[in-house]
Amino acid sequence: MRNSGTGKKILILVCILAVPGFLYYLLNVGGKNRYKSLQYFGPKHLSGTYHTHHGEKIPDTTYHKLPDFTLYNQHGEKITPATFDKKIFVTSFFYTGCPDVCNKINEGMKTLADRYVNNKMVHFMSITVNPGGDDTSALKKYAAKYGFPADKWQFVTGDTAMVYNLIRKGFLVNALKVNDKEFVFSDKLVLIDAEKHIRGYYQATSPTAVNKLTDEIKVQITEELRKIKAPN
């Protein structure tokens, strides 16, 4: 009986010592981290340059990025891609005269903003699809009910042509004016990385999709931190 007890103690000790090594193996294979980044969305093409991986020459790929833009938030402050330097952000689409669907879309955004309110790397931007009718004062009134500072959650407007070009050719979703009170637009939340690439689309009105986005924001944060720590 004494030998049996000693054997169990040894087995438990071996298991305790083995767990960290096993976890390390799961995360690392051959010295390479198995972390899997989010996919890129939009058109892509070969850049004409190459990198080497395990002695193999691999062509570099250039991914779709948001174009330059100039918009204005609820306080009349200019918003450009530089506003989100070294940051990731989630974008939604709405207009202030919208029926219930916009409330549902921005409730999804609010859920995310609440979860990341203290994270300085994560930001949010809601673009009106009625820039001709939604000026900065209208946006300020609309944004007030959500209670977030503009530097965390921007509600933005701008030149109509620029807004629609950005939505369609930048975020790659639809936006269409039917009349002064009706607009067709996407209910998707769009995740943008620090280099202004699209990394995911999520249905704003689906709690399951919003929870998925919550987790994938964490994945993207990890990727951005790895870039910062990576040697030049």
Question: Domain range holding 165?
Answer: 71-229
Instruction: Tell whether residue 15 is among the known ligand binding residues.
Output: no
Statement: residue 16 has pLDDT above 50: no
Query: In angstroms, rounded to a whole number, what is the distance separating the alpha carbons of residues 127 and 158?
Result: 9
102 is in an annotated binding site: yes
Chain mean pLDDT for the chain: 86
My answer on whether 204 and 89 are in the same domain is yes
Same domain, yes or no: 15 and 85: no
Identity of the residue numbered 136: T
Asked whether residue 80 falls in the same domain as residue 24, the answer is no
- 155-170: string of b/e by CB count within 10 Å (b at 16+)? bbbbeeebbbebbeeb
* CATH code of the domain containing 99: 3.40.30.10
In a domain, 163, yes or no: yes
Look at residue 178 in the predicted model and tell me its pLDDT.
94
pLDDT given for residue 25 in this prediction: 38
The model's pLDDT over 181-214, given as tens digits with 9 standing for 90+, comes to: 899 999 999 999 999 999 999 999 999 999 999 9
Does 114 share its domain with 216? yes
Residue 29 predicted with pLDDT over 90: no
